[in-house]
């Protein structure tokens, strides 16, 4: 039996730089993976099966269409193994929330089954398989700070990255990625020319303040609660930056200390007890 955490994927900035003829958008994004997420346990079994539990299990549709099972079936087919597995997903992250939950679940499924079944595929091979499941699955397989580009499959790894605390807030409203992109007007502003390697925490926060998430405005048009969420985060003491992640509706706030992030969490929860509010650490 193997258990691993499928960490949330947070876009600290997300610039949409163009659109390919096939409809895929080109982007540049700094992604980080805080120390919290879904939990996946795999154990040997005759057949492939998936059990979903946890606070957001009710939001998962048909398990037959789940990326976890698709990842497992893909790995089984590519490796030629006749082994099965029982997979348990503890769904701790909100669904359709802009924090890469499904892609991260698929990535960790590939990793854990690769070990459970003794397949021993390389990281590069797993990334190639992951890309067929979703453009950001390779980044989730890597699971460390990186700049994503292309359609999300190109990674520039950042070896030395500062530690900080992050507050994640989701109102409970699911936002369709397709709908958000359909309202996007590509600005074609120059992409980032910052080098994030060896930045201090203050240098990072200052650089991020000059950037943006190009999907934030169209998401706010579809779901005005995103704007309310951002206002709630920005109103907290010691919040250095508030922004939406991915295509929403999860928003985040950056803090220098765990204490400041926890105080912000308590304040927001007191006013919005039905919102999902979590503090996590980045860089650990």
DSSP letter, residue 248: S
Query: How far apart are the C-alpha atoms of 156 and 30, rounded to whole Å?
Result: 9
Coil vs helix vs strand at 247: coil
Is residue 99 annotated as involved in ligand binding?
yes
CA dihedral 71, 216, 254, 162 (to 10 degrees): 60
Is residue 18 annotated as involved in ligand binding?
no
Indicate the pairing of strand 48-53 with strand 84-90.
Answer: parallel
Is residue 223 annotated as involved in ligand binding?
no
The answer to whether 136 is a known catalytic residue is yes
CB 38 within 8 A of CB 101: yes
Is residue 96 annotated as involved in ligand binding?
yes
From 9, 91, 111, 265, the catalytic residue? 9
Query: How far apart are the C-alpha atoms of 29 and 47, rounded to whole Å?
Result: 38
Is residue 222 annotated as involved in ligand binding?
no
Chain centroid to Cα 33, Å, comes to 7
Is residue 102 annotated as involved in ligand binding?
yes
From 38, 105, 136, 165, the catalytic residue? 136
Is residue 103 annotated as involved in ligand binding?
yes
Looking at the DSSP assignment, which residues form a beta bridge with residue 32?
10
In the block, residue with structure tokens 């499959």: 153
- Closest by CA position to 248, among listed 167, 150, 178, 149: 178
Query: How far apart are the C-alpha atoms of 8 and 190, rounded to whole Å?
Result: 28
Is residue 146 annotated as involved in ligand binding?
no
**254 backbone dihedrals φ, ψ, rounded to 5°:** -105, 135
The answer to whether 214 is a known catalytic residue is no
**Active site residue ranges:** 9, 136
- Which residues participate in the annotated binding site for ATP? 94-104
- Which residues participate in the annotated binding site? 94-104
């Amino acid at each position: 039996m193997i258990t691993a955490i499928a960490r949330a994927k947070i876009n600290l900035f997300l610039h949409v730089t163009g659109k390919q003829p096939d409809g895929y958008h080109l982007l540049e994004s700094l992604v980080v993976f805080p120390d919290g997420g879904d939990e996946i346990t795999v154990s040997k079994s005759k057949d492939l099966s998936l059990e979903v539990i946890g606070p957001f299990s009710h939001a998962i549709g048909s398990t037959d269409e789940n990326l976890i099972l698709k990842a497992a079936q893909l790995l089984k087919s590519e490796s030629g193994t006749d082994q099965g597995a029982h997979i348990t997903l503890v769904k701790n992250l909100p669904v359709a929330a802009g924090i890469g939950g499904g892609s991260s679940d698929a990535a960790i499924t590939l990793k854990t089954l690769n070990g459970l079944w003794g397949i021993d595929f390389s990281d590069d091979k797993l990334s190639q398989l992951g890309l067929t499941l979703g453009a950001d699955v390779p980044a989730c397989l890597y699971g460390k700070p990186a700049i994503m580009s292309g359609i999300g499959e190109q990674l520039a790894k950042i070896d030395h990255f500062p530690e900080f605390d992050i507050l994640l807030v989701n109102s409970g409203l699911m936002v369709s990625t397709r709908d958000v992109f359909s309202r996007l007007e590509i600005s074609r502003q120059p992409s980032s020319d910052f080098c994030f390697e060896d930045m201090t925490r203050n240098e990072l926060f200052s650089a991020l303040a000059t950037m943006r998430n190009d999907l934030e405005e169209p998401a706010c048009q579809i779901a005005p609660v995103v704007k309310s969420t951002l206002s709630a985060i920005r109103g907290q003491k010691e919040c250095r930056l508030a922004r939406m992640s991915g295509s929403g509706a999860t928003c985040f706030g950056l803090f220098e200390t765990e204490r400041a992030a926890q105080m912000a969490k308590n304040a927001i929860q007191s006013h919005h007890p039905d919102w999902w509010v979590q503090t996590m650490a980045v860089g650990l």
